[in-house]
């Protein structure tokens, strides 16, 4: 059975472009409930650790650099079948391949600066949520 929580970040390209409110509206309109949220900034160490699964990939350095280039919004979202529902809402990693109406189609600038993060499994949603929020903050 799939879970009802996922984790998201609004990435630096979107926060600095002033799109945070529009993206949050879209998330809420799509039926997600915000269970925890914070506006913060990742250090190089934070971003390296968060994206450690990608450390062998050629874009890892660029990704860490980019994710520390401005503020991010981290949030835990709730909806039935949350991980898959949210991945459908954000669209493909590469915005040129993302479907019409998805958050990345509307707001992403490039494959690296792609506006939002969405967890890819229930297990990773729990790990990523715990990276930013204590268990009390996730209640």
117 lies in the site for ligand ATP, by CB under 6 A: yes
Pick the piece of the chain touching ligand ATP (CB under 6 A) from 15-23, 24-32, 59-67, 69-77.
59-67
Q: Is 81 exposed, middle or buried (0-12, 13-18, 19+ CB in 10 A)?
A: middle
Number of residues that bind ligand ATP (CB under 6 A): 11
91 lies in the site for ligand ATP, by CB under 6 A: no
Among 59, 80, 88, 96, binds ligand ATP (CB under 6 A): 59
Q: Choose the catalytic residue: 48, 117, 122, 125.
A: 117
Q: How many CA atoms lie within 13 A of 1 on its CB side?
A: 4
Q: Which is nearer to ligand ATP, 17 or 111 (CB)?
A: 111
49-71: b (≥16 Cβ within 10 Å) or e? ebbeeeeeeeebeebbebbbbee
């Amino acid at each position: 059975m799939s879970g009802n929580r996922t984790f998201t970040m609004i990435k630096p390209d979107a926060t600095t472009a002033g799109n945070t409110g529009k993206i949050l509206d879209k998330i809420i309109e799509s039926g997600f409930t915000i269970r925890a949220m914070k506006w913060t900034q990742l250090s190089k160490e934070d971003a390296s650790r968060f994206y450690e699964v990608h450390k062998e990939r050629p874009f890892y350095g660029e990704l860490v650099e980019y994710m520390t280039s401005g503020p991010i919004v981290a949030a835990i979202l709730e909806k039935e079948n949350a991980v898959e529902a949210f991945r459908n809402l954000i669209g493909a990693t590469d915005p040129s391949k993302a479907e019409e109406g998805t958050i990345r189609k509307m707001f992403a600038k490039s494959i690296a600066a792609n506006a939002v993060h969405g967890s890819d499994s229930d297990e990773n949603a729990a790990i990523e949520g715990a990276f930013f929020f204590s268990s009390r903050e996730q209640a």
